[in-house]
Chains A and B, each alone.
Chain A
Amino acid sequence: MTLLHEPDLGTPAVKSDIEVELVIDGMPTRVPAGTSVMRAAALLGTAVPKLCATDSLEAFGSCRLCLVEIDGKKGTPASCTTPCEPGMVVHTQTPKLEKMRRGVMELYISDHPLDCLTCPANGDCELQDMAGVVGLRDVRYGLEGANHLDAPTDDSNPYFSFDESKCIACSRCVRACDEVQGTFALTIEGRGFDSKISPGGTDFMSSDCVSCGACVQACPTSTLQEKTVIQIGIPTRTVETTCAYCGVGCSFKAELKGNELVRMVPLKSGGANEGHSCVKGRFAWGYASHPDRQLEPMVRESITDPWRKVSWNEAITYAATRLKDVQAKYGQQSIGGISSSRCTNEEVFVVQKMVRAAFGNNNIDTCARVCHSPTGYGLKQTFGTSAGTQNFASVAKADVILLIGANPTDAHPVFASRMKRRLRQGAKLIVVDPRRIDLVRTAHIKAEHHLQLLPGTNVAIVNALAHVAATEGLLDEEFIQTRTEEKAFRDWFEFIKKPENSPESVEAISGVPASELRAAARLFATANNSAIYYGLGVTEHSQGSTMVMGMANLAMATGNIGREGVGVNPLRGQNNVQGACDMGSFPHEFSGYRHVSDDTVRHQFEELWGTALQAEPGLRIPNMLDSAIDGEFKGIFIHGEDIAQSDPNTKHVKAALGAMECVIVQDLFLNETAAFAHVFFPGTSFLEKDGTFTNAERRINRVRPIQPPKTGKHEWEIVAELSQALGYPMQYGSSAEIMDEIATSTPTFAGVSFAHLDKVGSVQWPCNEENPVGTPTMHVDGFVRGLGQFMVTPYVATEEKSNRKFPLLLTTGRILSQYNVGAQTRRTENVNWYPEDLLEMHESDAELRGIVDGSFATLSSRVGETVMKVTITDRVPPGVVYSTFHYPTSGANVVTTDYSDWATNCPEYKVTAVELRPSIKPPQEIGMAAADLGLELVNE
């Protein structure tokens, strides 16, 4: 399509049951009470001239351009700050107003460079537009007087430029940073004529700015401008698509000039993000055209051979032959596949279909194994469906937010902005985290309670919270009686009342003071709407699944399920981790979470796919790896995942990969895992994909290509061709046809099609005949499983314990500017914010070991050791250290162990007993060396 200009109605929508009637420029209209005159006029199609107003921000009334006349009112009020009143008669265009607006415009232009023809915003500038609208013909004041034309430009941010000389001081950027992003990084410095925008008296890069781009989007001039627009020019067409980073799933406008991507701008009508973005989605897309990206298929006989670039045909035939050879030699069960949460639903669906139908076994697993598999298990047991219960907008109705093991300002920034807005409105926050995350205390946000627990004691904490509710009469009896299974509740009630679950007992285990626990529990249990949000700090534990059920218990016991503002909400890590799970990526489940042993379901797929399917669940990732080391599992198709860097106990993973006879890797880059591959299929970036992603709120969003695959083939085409070559016919004309097959075979997706999504924008599953536009809130009148099921959740300490040799507990996490193993973000300018992994350590622990801030230290655990740079901080308590895992050189997963969740094998990344000692050598380059080696061989 041509460039999409989303309408700007000037001020935000107002919700009200009362409507007021008024007349604007002779036209009668009705709007909700509280709506501004400007918005009411815009809804009628009358654009009142404006500069400081935009509908993502509260009205400000500073530019004096939107003045109107109202019968019976004195003067010329600003239409943005004047609410509509019943019977008002408004005039937006009169000779008097025109003269005033021209006069105001003259003042603006008298201090603005007259370089429109060479300005990067030429053609996309509201100041320019308004000069035209008000009919500016002359600037009587000239440009000779005092002005800001020589003001310097701040180019410190790698993605956008701040050219102060063009600033009209409308404050839109300041307000966007405050109201939308919630960082408060900008201000107006000085006063009067000297007023200017400042990121706090420093440059943008050294300021609190998180580079979310909200200010750039809000700027009506070229003052804050994307550098790509300066370099390339104004885009000419838009493709609406979905970000491929985290599980928030922001909708974006990819704006192109010809076929060149100029910028990504968040879509205001996007259900997940409503016009907001973060530094990754907005700016960090350059990896898609990074020179490291592989565009041609490659094969090699042995992993010590150099890569050989071959045709697609040869690569696919070679891969199929090798896989068949392995199966001939070691049996049908000796191969398997791993699907990717970074890929589309359609790509994931065909990968699992290939494994089940073409490989002829159920050895399919997905990277969700290592993140949110306990969510799937725990919520299915208790509520009946493996997904979060709310939409993101629900947080705006929460009164108390219990945030457990999640760090949204870094990992889910756009959702964090929503949450922060609600907290600034007065909602109370309880943070459960061993580390002092930003939300514990940041500008205008202060958590009521920070339960700083010892890593691995989540279940004890959630039981203690429920214990207080149960023993202090704070349960929601009515909800429990009508909505949950009686016997299960009684069993749970008897269990939870036990003294071992009391805050006083739990204090000894978790280190959290009992009084703090009691206060937090009372706050949660007595609020109107209490919502639980959580992340991998819940799931990546040996009791990950228990904890998910513990939270579900707490929500049911306090009646916080089935309406807006409440719920149990997993913050999903990857763009399509929900979708990958929905699509049947687990060894025991077909799409829609239906067990492979269910004859009805299996027969349905056998009929649809025309082949016999196995009724026994296949191997999970860790089983595949163990089995490879045992010599039984010999071939694997790894789709868009770097298990040699992301999975725990790197040494073990690499040994397993090295023991296989056919490793096929499909990825954008020659990643760490590719060092062990015999076949490399180049993948497509999200900018080339045509399909759907499903975000953390079950929202199915369209991903649309801005260009054909750079590799010559869509990933689903490659999988289909590999299936064919293996002897199982698989043919699709387009990815839309794959979605049609998903809809046919999966009840929760029954109403989904590309055509429907293109029409309505996005839907939250279940989307079927009953809910044609999807289901924002689940379990409203009843649980998916009928009655909710309380589960008894005893706390069991992890086997991974600190001792004299390994006295510290390591927990891991990620940072705003980098994403997971960094394959993408490390190949963008985001490295400017975080050029290397850091290990956070408390001063007292560091001093004891003679480790100084900024020095290297050897990090060792029972399974391995690595070297990392240490930063000393009071974010972590004594006894706990924390590291990120974005760089292969730091090898954080060299030290993580094989312990995992009892129910789902989700690795226990969040607890590793470690020791640190000073090191003089910088991080060893194990991982990087492997990848570099691969590259060199290609270049030969």
Chain B
Amino acid sequence: MKYLTWTDEAALEVVREHAEKPGPMLLTLQALQERFGYVETSLLPSIAKELNVSRAEVHGVLTYYSDFRTTPPASRQIHLCVAEACQALGVRDVVKELAAAGYEVGERSKDGATDVVGVYCLGNCALGPAALVDGNLCGRVSAKSLVAQVTS
């Protein structure tokens, strides 16, 4: 996935685009993550100021949702569903095989190029095991197919 390099100025511009919308906090944080891949916590006081809320409130929302990142992502992303339906269709084996290939779920891959994140249900249960690779939904995945995708 292509993300812009974080600069406070560029990030604040994104914040300002959303600040006047109703209930702007989630929209703003999502927009930042979409644009830069993560939210730099040193900017929290400024984000709070723009949204006219407190720094703690932004911190609370940012830490509540596990999808929000506060460090720059690797260049490739795997979000592997490890919820019940996908477990029934063998995702536990996928997890093991991925680990053996250097792609431990919950960590960055050994080659440093991919973040592997376990998630709970992508709504694609009929085609489990399911995953998002760089945001694109894939069904019937295997460790091999996933590794192939992120190394292609």
A-B contact pairs, 25 of them (CB 8 A): A183-B54, A184-B56, A185-B56, A187-B54, A187-B57, A189-B60, A190-B63, A191-B63, A191-B64, A191-B66, A198-B59, A200-B56, A200-B58, A201-B41, A201-B55, A207-B55, A207-B56, A208-B54, A208-B55, A208-B56, A441-B49, A441-B52, A443-B48, A444-B53, A445-B52
Q: Does A186 contact B (CB under 8 A)?
A: yes
Cα–Cα distance between A508 and B56 once the two chains are bound (Å): 42
**Cβ-defined contact, B56 with A186, below 8 A:** yes
Report chain B residues within 8 Å CB of A207.
Answer: 55-56
* Distance A187 CA – B58 CA, assembled complex (angstroms): 9
Other 6 A-B pairs with CB < 8 A, given A186-B56, A200-B59: A191-B64, A191-B66, A198-B60, A200-B55, A208-B54, A443-B52
Contact of B53 among A184, A186, A199 (CB under 8 A): A184
From 33 to 52 in chain A, residues with beta carbon under 8 angstroms from any chain B beta carbon are none
Please, how many residues of chain A have a CB less than 8 angstroms from a CB on the other chain? 21
* Nearest neighbor of A188 in chain B, beta-carbon distance: B60
* Chain A residue at minimum C-beta to C-beta distance from B58: A200
Q: Tell whether B44 is near chain A: CB-to-CB under 8 Å.
A: yes
The tally of residues in B whose CB lies under 8 Å from a CB in A reads: 17
Tell me the complex Cα distance, A190–B66, Å.
Answer: 8
CB pair B54 A443 closer than 8 Å: yes
Contact A184–B64 (Cβ < 8 Å): no
Instruction: Please count the residue pairs between chain A and chain B whose beta carbons lie under 8 angstroms apart in the complex.
Output: 59
Interface residues of B in 26-51 (CB under 8 A from A): 41, 44, 48-49
Give CA–CA (A529, B60) in the complex, Å. 36
C-alpha spacing A207/B57, complex, angstroms: 12
Q: Which residues of A contact B57 (CB under 8 A)?
A: 184, 187, 443
**Contact B59–A444 (Cβ < 8 Å):** no
- Check B63 against A185 for contact (C-beta < 8 Å): no
Contacts of B66 in A (CB 8 A): 191
Partner of B44, one of A185, A201, A441, A446: A201
The answer to whether A200 touches B52, judged by C-beta atoms less than 8 angstroms apart, is: no
Q: Which residue of the partner chain, among A184, A188, A189, contacts B54 with CB atoms under 8 Å?
A: A184
| Residue among A199, A201, A208, A446 making CB contact with B52, cutoff 8 Å | A446
Interface residue ranges, A against B (CB under 8 Å): 183-191, 198-201, 207-208, 441-446
B55 to chain A, nearest CB (A): 4
Contact between chains at B52 and A187 (CB < 8 Å): no
Bound complex: CA of A190 vs CA of B65, how far in Å? 8
- Complex alpha-carbon distance, A443 and B64, angstroms: 20
A443: which B residues are within 8 A, CB to CB?
48, 52-54, 57
Interface residue ranges, B against A (CB under 8 Å): 41, 44, 48-49, 52-60, 63-66
Partner of A200, one of B49, B54, B64: B54
> Which A residues are CB-close (under 8 A) to B52?
441-446
**Contact between A189 and B53 (Cβ–Cβ < 8 Å)?**
no
CB distance from B58 to the nearest CB of A (A): 8
Q: Which of A183, A200, A442 has the most CB of B within 10 A?
A: A200
Chain B residues with CB below 8 A from A183, complex form: 54
Report if A190-B64 is in contact (Cβ < 8 Å); known contacts: A200-B44, A201-B44. yes
CA distance A187 to B57 in the complex (A): 6
Please give, as numbers and ranges, the residues of chain A lying within 8 Å of B65 by CB-CB distance: 191
In whole angstroms, how far apart are the Cα atoms of A201 and B59 in the complex? 6
Q: Give which listed residue, A190, A191, A199, A445, contacts B56 with CB less than 8 A.
A: A199
| CA A444 to CA B49, docked complex, whole Å | 10
| Leading 6 A-B pairs by shortest Cβ distance | A187-B60, A200-B56, A184-B54, A187-B56, A443-B54, A200-B55
User: Which of chain B's residues have a CB closer than 8 A to the CB of A189?
Assistant: 59-60, 63
Q: Nearest Cβ distance between residue B9 and chain A, in whole angstroms?
A: 17
Q: CA–CA, A445 to B58, complex, Å?
A: 16
* Residues of A contacting B60 in the complex (Cβ-Cβ under 8 angstroms): 187-189, 198
Give Cα distance in the complex from A348 to B35, angstroms.
66
Q: How far is the CA of A184 from the CA of B57 in the complex (A)?
A: 7
Q: How far in angstroms is the closest Cβ of chain A from B28? A: 15
A370–B51 CA distance with the chains assembled, in angstroms: 40
Report the Cα distance A198→B60, complex, angstroms.
8
Chain B residues with Cβ under 8 A from A198's Cβ? 56, 59-60, 63
A536 nearest CB across to chain B (Å):
28
Shortest CB-to-CB span from B2 to chain A, Å, is: 28
In the complex, how many angstroms separate the beta carbon of B21 from the nearest chain A beta carbon?
A: 16
What's the Cα separation between A823 and B63 when bound, in Å?
43
Instruction: Tell me the smallest distance from the CB of B59 to a CB of chain A, in Å.
Output: 4
Chain B residues closer than 8 Å to A201, beta-carbon distance:
41, 44, 55-56, 59, 63
